[in-house]
Amino acid sequence: MSILEICQWLQNLGWATAIRESIMVFPILEGSHLLGIAVMLAPTFLLDLRLLGWGWKGDSVGKVAYSFLPVTFAGAGLMVITGALLFCSEAVKCYNSTFFRIKVVALIVAGCNPLIFHSTIWRRLTEWEHFPSPPSQARWTGATSLLFWLAVVAAGRYTAYNL
């Protein structure tokens, strides 16, 4: 089974068709998806700015990270659930969209970035968390996060207007 055939199967599921053809459900899911993105990205960007040494220099990186974590996870959960439902309702259109493919690649990189960060430089957090300007690996993580999350948002917007 090819990826296109899987997308066709997903899109033809009864509940996916109901979402796509609904006057209210699709726009509510889309609005909820955007809300989830905003709720997740606002604290993510604030932490990224701290990692870059551009904000909250008086607070430790750990304090900033842990204060934002619950909000970030709540927004990510809403974003993933609604995004999956929206994808299933228009899977073939998404599959055929270059912007959606860019979004997926940027999303994978943006998602792997914190995994790499937490398995490397984060392990030595106690050594540097109070520095006004974190080490270059942490700054690189913050810059990469900002860049790829902005790419996810931009490609997602282009996807929505080009389907």
Contacts of 76 (CB under 8 A, 6+ apart): 36, 40
Q: What is the pLDDT of residues 148-158, one digit of tens each?
A: 999 999 999 99
Question: In 3D, which of 107, 110, 111, 134 has the Cα closest to residue 122?
Answer: 134
pTM for the whole structure: 0.91
Structure tokens at 142: 């913050």
CA–CA dist 51, 95 (Å, integer): 35
Q: What is the pLDDT of residues 11-68, one digit of tens each?
A: 999 999 999 999 999 999 999 999 999 999 999 999 999 999 998 888 999 999 999 9
